[in-house]
């Protein structure tokens, strides 16, 4: 069954901004259809007049009219094709934008369970399949359906017997093709799903090539690759089987149509019902009818792919974020407070994952720097992700800002809360673009001022082309410490009220350690900060300490007060050595 409602919903929704161009395209289609139907009439008239012995001078205007109409038809057809492609790609580019925006609004549990390659295939691959749906469908399906209707109507005018016969075969063939279309859409949906899985798998393996080879897992990955390919092949064969069935249906229609024309045309010519020109006209119209049917068949194959893509696009749009969309309150300028109130969290509640944070409560006053300590797996990074609202707790609340502005949407909150991790993502672009996140409204003066305040101006100028230095994706060709310096400048340009440093100084090289330590000091000025640290030097700049163990708060308080209390856990950690005790 054809998902007509899904087609129309997507078609009308994304073509609405281009309705003026769509009406122009419809007009062009009607003109091309009319020109195609007129020319055979001229040829039939030319043949009959020539057989009647008409003079050459009376035949020349008919021939000239035929050539003029043929040229005009080709020019208008080119214009219509260009316009259809422009509308189609404009509409699908908007669809890509909407899908990307929707995916970026989803919580991190979705992104953890979906590989980058799969997302690329769904956002670009599925939508690219729909570009033909928006452009070719308009010209070939709707236009050729109208042309076919006009041809059948004129066949009825020439001879009701021929018209009735061709109508019956055409309707039967079209019903058969539409029926096959409904059957084969699930086949193409399976192909698209496996294609997305394949590209996701390839993306993961390319990203993890070093670890795969280092751990001797090449053979295992090849076997996984082979298993996906073996599952993919029969799906593709089945999809092409659907194409073959539709091709057989259209060719059968064409064969029987020619038989009807030859048999009935010969008989009607013999009894004097049709002239030679009329017989040619009928034959020409039947041949013309084969082309739109063939194009409709080809477009139905694209519609099969489009139907599968539409289903997958709608599934992606239907995926709702687990993040609570709160009121549109605005967080004030300056440092912001953070309050964890009875927070309980697990990453996948439906799968019954272990509880990562269990009834955690602590408060950070505006402008205070908190050192968050704990062994690996104690929940430190989870606290960071909850503060930036990448996840939503199953129980309790994470509040940022004053009580009057606690209800803030995630997108608004992230303008005032920033996080720097030990793994910094750099883009294949200039240093300037990496610092501003491609925001053209941030001037070079603002960037240089931030670098001066972080005491990084000299380091940036030491790069080959300064701000215009091109970086590669991933690490960008920089050391881990240099990448951290860029990340700190990014954050400084945003001027957040809360900063989370998640192991941000755990992989420093000696050449940049001093630079980064100075940058951290400037970054924390007049801001609230949560520092997840293993190093004693990092903890020394904290005002307060929160120690986690097994997802619960083991100890919390002012750093100096805890350090002076010999019975405190923090004092014992200092005595033992943070690096050894928290390993």
What does the DSSP assignment read for 223-239?
A: HHHHHHHHHHHHHHHHH
DSSP labels, 137-166: IIIIIIHHHHHHHHHHHHHHHH-HHHHHHH
Average pLDDT over residues 402-419: 75
Mean pLDDT confidence for 481-507? 79
Query: At residue 543, does pLDDT exceed 70?
Result: yes
Nearest CA among 343, 359, 374, 348 for reference residue 530:
374
Helices 160-207 & 126-134 angle (0-180, nearest 10): 160
DSSP-based helix, strand, coil % in the chain, nearest 5: 65, 10, 25
Which domains, and CATH codes, for the chain?
4-318 (1.20.1560.10), 338-581 (3.40.50.300)
Residue range 93-116: average pLDDT? 84
Q: Are strands 357-364 and 338-345 parallel, antiparallel or unpaired?
A: antiparallel
**Percentage of residues of the chain with pLDDT beyond 70:** 87
Query: What integer is the mean pLDDT of 497-522?
Result: 73
Whether 75 has a pLDDT exceeding 90, the answer reads yes
Q: pLDDT above 90 covers what percent of the chain?
A: 5
Task: pLDDT band for 68, please (50, 70, 90 cuts).
Answer: very high
Give the global pTM.
0.65
Mean residue pLDDT across the chain: 80
For 471, phi and psi rounded to 5 degrees? Answer: -110, 155
C-alpha span between 40 and 151 (Å, rounded): 11
Q: What's the pLDDT tens digit per position in 2-33?
A: 455 666 677 677 778 888 888 888 888 888 88
Please return the burial class of 256, using the count of CB atoms within 10 Å of its CB with bins 0-12, 13-18 and 19+.
middle
Which of 251-255, 309-313, 378-382, 473-477 tops mean pLDDT?
A: 378-382
pLDDT digits (tens, 9 = 90+) for 415-426: 888 888 877 888
CA-to-CA separations, 393 to 53, 97, 339, 370, 397, in angstroms, rounded: 92, 29, 13, 21, 7
Q: What is the mean pLDDT of residues 524-548?
A: 82
* Alpha-carbon gap, residue 136 to 147, rounded angstroms: 15
Structure-token pair, residue 89 = 């790609």
pLDDT, one tens digit per residue, over 296-324 is 766 766 666 677 777 778 888 888 887 77
| pLDDT attached to residue 537 | 63
**Mean pLDDT, rounded, for 94-101:** 89
pLDDT of res. 437? 85
Whole-angstrom CA distances from 250 to 149, 187, 293 are: 16, 21, 7
Residues near 234 by beta carbon (within 8 Å), at least 6 away in sequence: none
pLDDT band at 473 (very low <50, low <70, confident <90, very high): low
């Amino acid at each position: 069954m054809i998902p007509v409602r899904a087609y129309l919903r997507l078609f009308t929704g994304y073509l609405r901004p281009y309705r003026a161009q769509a009406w122009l395209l419809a007009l062009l289609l009607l003109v091309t259809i009319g020109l195609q139907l007129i020319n055979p009439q001229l040829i039939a008239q030319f043949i009959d007049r020539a057989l009647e012995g008409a003079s050459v001078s009376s035949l020349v205007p008919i021939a000239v009219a035929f050539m003029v109409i043929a040229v005009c038809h080709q020019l208008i057809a080119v214009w219509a094709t260009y316009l259809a492609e422009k509308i189609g790609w404009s509409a699908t580019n908007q669809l890509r934008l909407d899908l990307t925006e929707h995916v970026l609004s989803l919580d991190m549990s979705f992104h953890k369970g979906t590989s980058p390659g799969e997302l690329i295939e769904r956002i670009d691959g599925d939508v690219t399949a729909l570009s033909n749906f928006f452009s070719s469908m308009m010209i070939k399906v709707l236009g050729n359906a109208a042309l076919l209707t006009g041809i059948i109507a004129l066949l009825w005018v020439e001879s009701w017997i021929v018209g009735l016969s061709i109508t019956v075969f055409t309707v039967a063939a079209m019903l058969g093709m539409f029926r096959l279309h409904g059957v084969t859409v699930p086949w193409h949906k399976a192909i698209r799903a496996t294609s997305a899985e394949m590209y996701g798998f390839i993306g993961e393996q390319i990203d993890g090539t070093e670890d795969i080879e280092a751990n001797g897992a090449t053979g295992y990955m090849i076997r996984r690759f082979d298993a996906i390919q073996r599952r993919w092949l029969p799906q593709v064969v089945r999809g092409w089987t659907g194409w073959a069935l539709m091709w057989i249906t259209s060719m059968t229609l064409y064969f029987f149509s020619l038989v009807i024309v030859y048999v009935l045309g010969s008989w009607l010519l013999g009894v004097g019902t049709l002239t030679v020109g009329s017989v040619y006209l009928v034959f020409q119209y039947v041949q013309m009818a084969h082309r739109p049917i063939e194009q409709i068949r080809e477009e139905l194959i694209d519609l099969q792919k489009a139907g599968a893509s539409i289903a997958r696009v709608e599934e992606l749009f239907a995926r709702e974020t687990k993040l609570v969309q709160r009121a549109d309150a605005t967080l004030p300028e300056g440092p912001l407070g953070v309050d964890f109130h009875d927070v309980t969290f697990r990453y996948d509640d439906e799968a019954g994952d272990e509880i990562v944070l269990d009834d955690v409560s602590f408060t950070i006053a505006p402008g205070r720097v908190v050192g968050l300590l704990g062994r690996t797996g104690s929940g430190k990074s989870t606290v960071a992700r909850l503060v930036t609202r990448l996840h939503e707790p199953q129980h309790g609340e994470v509040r940022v800002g004053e009580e009057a502005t606690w209800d803030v949407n995630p997108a608004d909150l992230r303008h005032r809360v920033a996080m720097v991790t030990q793994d910094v993502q750099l883009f294949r672009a200039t240093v300037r673009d990496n610092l501003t996140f491609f925001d053209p409204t941030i001037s070079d003066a603002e960037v240089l001022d931030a670098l001066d305040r972080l005491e990084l101006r000299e380091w940036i100028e030491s790069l080959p082309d300064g701000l215009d230095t091109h970086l590669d994706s991933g690490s960008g060709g920089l050391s881990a410490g240099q990448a951290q310096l860029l990340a700190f400048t990014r954050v400084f340009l945003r001027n957040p009220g809360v900063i989370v440093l998640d192991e941000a100084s755990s992989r420093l090289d000696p050449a940049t350690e001093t630079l980064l330590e100075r940058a951290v000091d400037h970054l924390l000025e007049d801001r609230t900060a949560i520092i997840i640290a293993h190093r004693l030097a990092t903890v020394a700049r904290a005002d307060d300490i929160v120690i986690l163990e097994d997802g619960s708060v083991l100890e919390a308080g002012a750093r100096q007060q805890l350090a002076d209390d010999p019975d405190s856990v923090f004092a014992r950690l200092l005595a033992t050595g943070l690096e050894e005790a928290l390993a």
